[in-house]
Amino acid sequence: MHYQRLVHLYLALEKTTKRLEKTALLAAFLKEVPKDEVQDVVYLLQGLVFPPWDERKIGFSSRLMLKAISVASGASADSVEKLWSKKGDLGIVATELLGKKTQKTLTSEHLTVKKVIDNIRKLATLEGAGTVDRKIALVAELLTSSSPEEARFIARTVLEELRVGIAAGILRDSIAQATGYSVEEIEQSADILADYGEVAHLAKEKKLKTVILVPGRPMHVMLSIPVKDVAESFEELGKPAQFEYKLDGVRLQIHKNKNHILLFTRRMENVTKQFPEVVEYAKTYVKGKSFIIDCEAVGFDPKTGVHQPFQSISQRIKRKYDIEQLAKKLPVEVNVFDIMYCNGKTMVNKPLKERRALLEKILKNIPHKIKTTEKLVTDDIKKAQHFYDESLAKGNEGLMIKKIDALYRPGRYVGGWCKLKPVLEPLDVVIVGASYGEGKRAATLSSYVIACQDEDGNLLEVGRVSTGVKEKEEEGVTFDALTKLLKPLITETKGRDVVVKPKIVVEVAYEEVQKSPTYKSGYALRFPRFKRLRLEEKKVGDINTLADVERIYKVQKGKKAAT
């Protein structure tokens, strides 16, 4: 397939914000894509070249793109940089300069989807001497062979900044329309495979029924919705319900196939090497030739045994050296709460009470190593409230509350699980802008524009935050640290204000949600406070939605009416 056909679709998608129109455009396009190319096409539609769970990274910076555009267009690096500073988008820069390039095209052949994706994938494999030059040459080859419009989207894809408004829901619905499967069938397959590209290919081949859980391949985990109190949880889930301590750790899915153990985070990152003790616990204390279990790895003080907040072990997620030493200094206790697969049998369609019974049968509880989560099954609101108070007294975040006959539904806020915390639910948002400070903070970005997302993945501002960021490194995340993270992401500067690429996900607390015409979301967080970086846990696509903000707004209105 010619890449130009895909580019025409990108351009059409950019012209509409309407979900149904986007879905119709995508569905019509996917119907025409050959079976053997649809997987790669779907990756490119998402701005990817690998499955979401793949460990390979493109790793091509804006500075390298600047050089590649210079090589391809014949323009000097200085002129490319000046135009970049003016336009704030290297995709647009590529379009303008390739439109009037001073050197001849190296080939008159049309670019194909295969050529584009093959060149970009090679960027992740190059190593050794001369790597930078070879990477620039691969991208420059694509740009030189492209039309101005193609160049824009090649540059954005390489930089992982495509953003043409294709949210997961739109992609799901369009694949369903294009292949004749139901939306539910497409979604269920995508939750298990965590790969819409493969789902589209199997759907085209009429082989979706072959999709099964396979130990060793990460899947989406089940998610929960917030409730304001125990009474509301019973209303949501019925009686009795299962209550568990809500812990502040790293969510892990542990996969075993024979004697091979793999660990994946909620973001489906492979962290097996970073947590060698967890691998040993799973081998030693969980019976079964094969299984997939869901758990929370919680840090604890090796001297006192007291649980520590997530920040205490977050540094382990990216550690690549001195791992054994760090494991002794910052150990974790694995708290297991669900099982999705066991000895060749898929468990996701079994009720929670059956899954939990199996889990308790195969797992040996060893405190400070691995254990099942503390739980209470009750229909008594007083007993549930006491369990909640007990969890808070032990330093936990609150409670997870589960419907006892709920099936395990990966990747969905289906209402089978709820979470209860003592304050309004913190929000995960992304920084989309910032402002330089004054006085001693004149050189640092010290006020940050934050955004949630709508159902189509569009980012909507919900306020500014600066409170909670620290001056000194020993106190937590500093203004200097955030400035270092954000400066390379700046795309536009207006006086002291800057616009940044949406990459840095943060968790914020706040006093309440207010309606506000100031921000695109229509809401503003009152007195927002920075709590922590979420870089190791969440991608931009995982941030809270406008629906979450609206739900919290309604919950707090109910609280005010009751006081």
pLDDT-derived band at 342 (thresholds 50, 70, 90) equals: very high
Per-residue pLDDT at 558:
56
**Full-model pTM:** 0.78
Provide the H-helix boundaries in 238-310.
276-285
- pLDDT of 109 above 70: no
Percent of all residues in the chain with a pLDDT value above 70, rounded to a whole number: 96
Contacts 24+ apart (CB under 8 A), 376-381: 376/242, 376/243, 376/244, 377/240, 377/241, 377/242, 377/243, 377/404, 378/240, 378/241, 378/243, 379/234, 379/239, 379/240, 379/241, 381/230, 381/231, 381/234
pLDDT-derived band at 557 (thresholds 50, 70, 90) equals: low
Residue pair 264/255 in contact by the 8 Å Cβ criterion: yes
- Averaged pLDDT for residues 329-340: 95
Q: Which residues contact 153 (CB under 8 A, 6 or more apart)?
A: 6, 7, 10, 91, 162
Neighbours of 279 (CB within 10 A): 17
Torsion sign across C-alpha atoms 375, 377, 383, 384: positive
The CATH number that domain 427-562 falls under is 2.40.50.140
E strand spans, 365-476: 370-372, 375-378, 398-403, 417-420, 427-436, 445-453, 459-465
Domain(s) labelled CATH 1.10.3260.10 in the chain stretch across 3-158
Per-residue pLDDT at 512:
85
Q: Which residue has the higher pLDDT, 539 or 291?
A: 291
Domain(s) labelled CATH 3.30.470.30 in the chain stretch across 225-420
Q: Which residues contact 222 (CB under 8 A, 6 or more apart)?
A: 294, 338, 408, 409, 410, 411, 412, 414, 416, 417
Which residues have a catalytic role annotated? 246
Measured CA to CA, the distance from residue 24 to residue 329 in angstroms comes to 54
- pLDDT of 260 above 70: yes
Encoded amino acid at 273, one letter = K
∠ at Cα 517 (506, 461), nearest 5°?
20
Convert the pLDDT of each residue in 97-108 to its tens digit: 998 764 444 444
CA-closest candidate to residue 154, choices 117, 122, 102: 117
Provide the H-helix boundaries in 379-528.
381-393, 479-486
Encoded amino acid at 183, one letter = V
Convert the pLDDT of each residue in 46-73 to its tens digit: 999 999 899 899 989 889 999 999 999 9
Convert the pLDDT of each residue in 425-446 to its tens digit: 789 999 999 999 877 777 899 9
Residue pair 501/489 in contact by the 8 Å Cβ criterion: yes
Domain(s) labelled CATH 2.40.50.140 in the chain stretch across 427-562
What per-residue string of b and e applies to 149-177 under the rule 16 or more CB within 10 Å gives b? bbbbbbbbbbbbbbbbbbbbebbbbbbbb
Q: Regarding the domain delimited by 3-158, which CATH topology (the fold level of the hierarchy) does it fall under?
A: DNA ligase i, domain 1 (1.10.3260)
CA-closest candidate to residue 538, choices 449, 481, 453: 453
Convert the pLDDT of each residue in 149-173 to its tens digit: 999 999 999 998 887 888 889 999 9
Residue pair 531/311 in contact by the 8 Å Cβ criterion: no
- pLDDT of 318 above 80: no
Neighbours of 190 (CB within 10 A): 24
Q: Which residue has the higher pLDDT, 558 or 420?
A: 420
- pLDDT of 185 above 50: yes
Token digits of residue 95:
């379009």
- Averaged pLDDT for residues 76-89: 87
Q: Which residue has the higher pLDDT, 405 or 561?
A: 405
Q: How far is CA 532 from CA 249, 423, 467, in A?
A: 13, 16, 12
Neighbours of 526 (CB within 10 A): 12
- pLDDT of 95 above 70: yes
Please provide residue 366's backbone torsions phi and psi, each rounded to the nearest 5 degrees.
-130, 100
Can you state the angle between helices 38-45 and 3-14, rounded to 10 degrees? 40
Measured CA to CA, the distance from residue 472 to residue 457 in angstroms comes to 35
Per-residue pLDDT at 103:
45
- Averaged pLDDT for residues 250-258: 95
Residue pair 333/302 in contact by the 8 Å Cβ criterion: no
Mean residue pLDDT across the chain: 91
CA-closest candidate to residue 135, choices 114, 159, 161, 108: 159
Neighbours of 103 (CB within 10 A): 11
The DSSP secondary structure of 79-102, one letter per residue, reads HHHHHHHHHS-HHHHHHHHHHT-S
Q: Which residue has the higher pLDDT, 496 or 93?
A: 93
Token digits of residue 182:
């139901």
How many CA atoms within 13 Å lie on the side-chain side of 275?
Answer: 33
Residue pair 68/139 in contact by the 8 Å Cβ criterion: yes
pLDDT-derived band at 413 (thresholds 50, 70, 90) equals: low
Measured CA to CA, the distance from residue 397 to residue 331 in angstroms comes to 19
Cα R_g (the chain), whole angstroms: 25
Multiple choice CATH, 225-420, 3.60.21.10, 3.30.470.30, 3.40.50.720, 3.10.20.30? 3.30.470.30
Range name among 19-28, 148-157, 421-430 with the lowest pLDDT average: 421-430
Per-residue pLDDT at 105:
47
